[in-house]
Structure 1
Amino acid sequence: MSVVPATTIALSARFAGDLPEMAVPWQAEEAPDPQLLVLNEPLARELGLDPEHLRSPEGLGLLTGTVVPEGARPVAQAYSGHQFGGFSPRLGDGRALLLGELTGPDGQLRDLHLKGSGRTPFARGGDGLAAVGPMLREHVISEAMHALGIPTTRSLAVVATGRTIRRETLLPGAVLARVASSHLRVGSFQYAAASGDVALTRRLADHAIARHHPAAADAESPYLAFFDAVVAAQAALVARWMLVGFVHGVMNTDNMTISGETIDYGPCAFLDAHDPATVFSSIDEQGRYAFGNQPVVAEWNLARLAESLLPLLDDEQERAVEIAVASLGRFRVAYADAWSAGMAAKLGLPAGLSADVASGLVDELTGLMVAGHVDHTGCFRALGAAAAGDLEPARGLFLDLAGFDAWLARWLAVAPSAATMDRVNPVYVPRNHLVEEALTAATGGDLGPLTTLLDVLAQPFDERPGLERFAQPAPGDFGATYRTFCGT
């Protein structure tokens, strides 16, 4: 695969050119002493970039936005959003910049985007900066999600800026260089709709169709087909979150992509004990974005997208609402199908098993897990061992042993496939206590634990000797008080 130096990167400005009303030209703040903390070399090569050049002063300039390729037009993107149910008409990139779009050797168009690059007109009183810890969190979690096969934005690099920033205390600053299919969000459409300019909404939809759902352009009703495609993508995505025990933490409409990629790894975390009521975010005081609420919130967010698209669905508002409601109604079916298929694979259930038997096995198991505070990731991996004949690891997880044994007998009677289970049930996920351990060390200047954790998470389905601690849940006194933060 060919690679090119940073100075010869051809970044297009399609978003800025197509939608100037939603793009504010802006420049990143200077980084006094940029130091590379982590570089995603496989992703760099996939993009056609030379990792060694990205390590150079000029490359670090690209990764912090202070060296802009010729022809690039960095912009802060405008968008709205419902944040914890309350509508904010003007959010936008308060501490981020879209450097431009990069076409890789594979022909795929991707955004090159910065986070923590300084104040923009959307900063709303914030300093526009980011600390090392939260930016490394996004790097770790997004790369773990990628390795798990879950659609996600990805981190190309994290660069310490040499600037000290103030949060609860003084912290070292950093910039994250992020790659995504795009940064179009439900909130982008809310912003266009709130402007009252139907032509802008139409241009935004046409841009999104061309970028993400090109088949919709040939449909009889392109904008309905576009909405259908977003509904399907989000149903599949959130089902994948639920299957691996991922808690996003801040599912505002400005954090839901049109592409179906996971975005914004602020107060996110993974379950230890399986519990639908689990909340990790320090700002989610009412549990709006609890683990078990994620499918409901996704549907709610998609309803807000539907509202923004109404003028494109039909000239008559009443008819447009009917069309949108019918399309949105497919979310629950698509989500249920994706969840059921995923759980069938996680339990190694054979094809042709009756839906009633399968759902009964799933529902009873999850009930036992909740009641016994059973580790989500460890349970499914132990069940894989049980399907292969070793029952004790799974039996040791449950408090209601009689209830579990009764379930186990019914499950084993359908002849589950251990091989299928091991392909879809990870051994390693970003355990919250290990992530915090690595981030604390890295903030203090020791990148060793972070490097080790990234290496483990890159192969989540392969059990490896010597890595047992990475498969263990957090100590009992950790999870009860664990909270995550946005990092703003």
Structure 2
Amino acid sequence: MANAAPIPFDNSYARLPAHFHAAANPTPVSEPWLIKLNRPLAEALGLNADALEREGAAIFSGNVIPEGAEPLGMAYSGHQFGQFVPLLGDGRAILLGEVIGKDGVRRDIQLKGAGKTPYSRRGDGRAALGPVLREYIVSEAMFALGIPTTRALAAVVTGEPVYRERVLPGGVITRVAASHIRVGTFQFLAARGDTEGLKVLADHVIDRHYPELKGSERPYLALLEAVIERQAFLIARWLCVGFIHGVMNTDNCAVSGETIDFGPCAFLDAYDPAKVFSSIDQGGRYAYASQPAIGRWNMARLAETLLPLLDPDPSEAVNLANDAIAGYGLRFQNHWLAGMKEKIGLYAEEDGDLDLVQGLLSAMHRNEADFTLTFRRLCDAAESSANDGPLRELFGNAADIDTWLLAWRERTGRETLPDTQTAAAMRSVNPAFIPRNHRIEQAIRAAEDDGDFSLFEALNDVLAKPYEEQPAFAAYATPPAPSEEVLRTFCGT
């Protein structure tokens, strides 16, 4: 099947042992239409964006399999809300293959929603248009925010309905990732006692994501520690922008350290550490402030799979794994505190900095202050106390923030940067714009109900520059009105 827009595939995962994956050709659809091609990403991958604009509807719907592609579904297991499922796998995602971008980095190109695979079980392998748009918006917003993430290369309408609680238009998203290898991929092999397969997979991950570890005395322990470090960093960055993943199962935890799977995810409006949006998270397992602990739990599950590779002596292997996991907390705390200090303009080290950060968060919680607006308006307050007014308006009890501001100004007075430079530095880490949940829902409703993608396009444009003021789009920075507030988000399956 020749392709007018050749993609230079080089598919290393397809060359791994056969039981790691299963062949899975996309199921053609009737009337595909290309909603959006991410031209900057296409060009960074070394692809012909003009040709993809012409041929994208066919390629990114799965109607045409590009030359060099080797479509497959990846096998994996996973702990879903704490319960182990021995076989999950790509039930509605098909890995077309891998490309090496202009930066020399190998990345997966995957269709999500392109039909059944051998791992679909009773599912139809399809995606509704809403989750496709949500993943496109949020993954690209995360990239613009500077957070490690999978990305969206294209979105397509299939022209065919999908059947959920109601009939919805179908869609396919083309996802780009450093890889789609998950903690659950290791669990799949460990659950089958496949030590040789674990070694093959671990070597593949080291080659692909951590080549600097090849000369390590204990490469598999070094791999565990490296994945722990990236997860601690990633989750700290989530918390610094108010992001709630919503479904941090081990099969949604990428060993590359990227954010993966944007199902019931959401961003905080009013600050609440116990906030849950996901409709399927009935017990609050994946609440905003629970995410660091879940990250550690997921890393413990990865460590369990690697025990046979860590040391021939089972007791020593357990000791090594426990020591590695024990380091997660400090790694996370250091990344989180460093990020939060930058958000409030602190750069030197002082003993009371953690208390100052926590004092602001406590005041925000008591007053239900908007997370993003509080930090953005604090940037203005850093320039002059004359700018405190808009920040104080976010607090029902203004005395709460006034007390904190006194302590903050005493502390920032010992920093060396001029106030204007401090404010500029703070604006570079405190976004003016995030993917507000109600804005995403408005874009989805317009697209699903009326075929209107103008809100989707506008939202993507605004979110591409989250740290800039963009006065013409100031409305996109405001929290929802009570009637607009989104209380629940839903998985895309």
Cα shift at 1:315? 1.0
Cα shift at 1:7? 4.5
Deviations 1:338-390 (A, max 9, x none): 001001100001424x1x22111111111111111110000000111111111
- Paired residue secondary structure (2:160): strand
Work out the CA distance in 2 between the residues paired with 1:158 and 1:9. 17
Counting only pairs closer than 5 Å after superposition, residues 214-293 of structure 1 correspond to structure 2 as: 214-293=211-290
Work out the CA distance in 1 between the residues paired with 2:226 and 2:30. 44
Work out the CA distance in 2 between the residues paired with 1:438 and 1:8. 32
Cα shift at 1:71? 3.2
* Residues 412/89 of structure 1: CA separation in 2 closer, same or farther (3 Å cut): same
The answer on 1:369 being equivalent to 2:364 is yes
Question: Which of 465, 482, 485 is the equivalent residue of 2:487?
Answer: 482
The answer on 1:387 being equivalent to 2:382 is yes
Work out the CA distance in 2 between the residues paired with 1:120 and 1:340. 43
Cα shift at 1:482? 1.7
Is the 8 Å Cα contact of residues 269 and 372 (structure 2) preserved in structure 1?
Answer: yes
Paired residue for 2:470?
464
Is the 8 Å Cα contact of residues 34 and 56 (structure 2) preserved in structure 1?
Answer: no
Paired residue for 1:53?
51
Is the 8 Å Cα contact of residues 11 and 69 (structure 1) preserved in structure 2?
Answer: no
Cα shift at 1:466? 2.1
Work out the CA distance in 1 between the residues paired with 2:472 and 2:338. 33
Work out the CA distance in 1 between the residues paired with 2:102 and 2:11. 18
Paired residue for 1:360?
355
Unaligned ranges ≥5, structure 1: none
* Residues 7/399 of structure 1: CA separation in 2 closer, same or farther (3 Å cut): closer
Unaligned ranges ≥5, structure 2: 413-418
Counting only pairs closer than 5 Å after superposition, residues 314-463 of structure 1 correspond to structure 2 as: 314-352=311-349, 354=350, 356-389=351-384, 390-415=387-412, 417-443=422-448, 444-463=450-469
Work out the CA distance in 2 between the residues paired with 1:431 and 1:482. 12
Paired residue for 2:294?
297
Work out the CA distance in 2 between the residues paired with 1:64 and 1:151. 26
User: TM-score if structure 1 supplies the norm length?
Assistant: 0.96
Deviations 1:97-139 (A, max 9, x none): 0101111222211000010011111112011100111001000
- Paired residue secondary structure (1:12): coil
The answer on 1:167 being equivalent to 2:164 is yes
Is the 8 Å Cα contact of residues 7 and 68 (structure 2) preserved in structure 1?
Answer: no
Instruction: State the Cα RMSD in Å.
Output: 1.3
Is the 8 Å Cα contact of residues 310 and 320 (structure 1) preserved in structure 2?
Answer: yes
Cα shift at 1:22? 1.1
Range with greater deviation from structure 2 (408-417 or 331-340) = 408-417
Work out the CA distance in 2 between the residues paired with 1:137 and 1:21. 32
* 1:410 aligned partner, one-letter code: A
Paired residue for 2:11?
13
Work out the CA distance in 1 between the residues paired with 2:304 and 2:436. 38
- Paired residue secondary structure (2:107): strand
Is the 8 Å Cα contact of residues 10 and 69 (structure 1) preserved in structure 2?
Answer: no
Paired residue for 1:119?
116
Work out the CA distance in 2 between the residues paired with 1:10 and 1:19. 23
Work out the CA distance in 2 between the residues paired with 1:79 and 1:260. 17
Is the 8 Å Cα contact of residues 5 and 52 (structure 2) preserved in structure 1?
Answer: no
The answer on 1:130 being equivalent to 2:136 is no
Cα shift at 1:329? 1.1
Is the 8 Å Cα contact of residues 77 and 92 (structure 1) preserved in structure 2?
Answer: yes
Deviations 1:210-246 (A, max 9, x none): 0101111111100000111000000000000000000
- Paired residue secondary structure (1:161): strand
Question: Which of 204, 213, 228 is the equivalent residue of 1:207?
Answer: 204
Cα shift at 1:469? 1.0
Paired residue for 1:28?
26
Is the 8 Å Cα contact of residues 213 and 226 (structure 1) preserved in structure 2?
Answer: yes
Cα shift at 1:397? 1.1
Work out the CA distance in 2 between the residues paired with 1:155 and 1:343. 28
Is the 8 Å Cα contact of residues 368 and 400 (structure 1) preserved in structure 2?
Answer: no
- Paired residue secondary structure (2:170): strand
Is the 8 Å Cα contact of residues 141 and 464 (structure 2) preserved in structure 1?
Answer: yes
Question: Which of 72, 93, 97 is the equivalent residue of 1:96?
Answer: 93
- Paired residue secondary structure (1:87): strand
Is the 8 Å Cα contact of residues 19 and 204 (structure 1) preserved in structure 2?
Answer: no
Fraction of identical pairs, as percent: 50
Is the 8 Å Cα contact of residues 5 and 51 (structure 2) preserved in structure 1?
Answer: no
Deviations 1:47-89 (A, max 9, x none): 1112221122x43222122322333211000000000000000
Cα shift at 1:6? 5.1
Work out the CA distance in 2 between the residues paired with 1:222 and 1:451. 45
* Residues 138/6 of structure 1: CA separation in 2 closer, same or farther (3 Å cut): farther
Counting only pairs closer than 5 Å after superposition, residues 116-195 of structure 1 correspond to structure 2 as: 116-195=113-192
* 1:403 aligned partner, one-letter code: D
- Paired residue secondary structure (1:173): strand
- Paired residue secondary structure (1:327): helix
Question: Which of 290, 304, 308 is the equivalent residue of 1:307?
Answer: 304
Paired residue for 2:415?
none
Cα shift at 1:39? 1.2
* 1:255 aligned partner, one-letter code: N
Work out the CA distance in 1 between the residues paired with 2:400 and 2:167. 51
* Residues 224/469 of structure 1: CA separation in 2 closer, same or farther (3 Å cut): same
Work out the CA distance in 1 between the residues paired with 2:134 and 2:492. 10
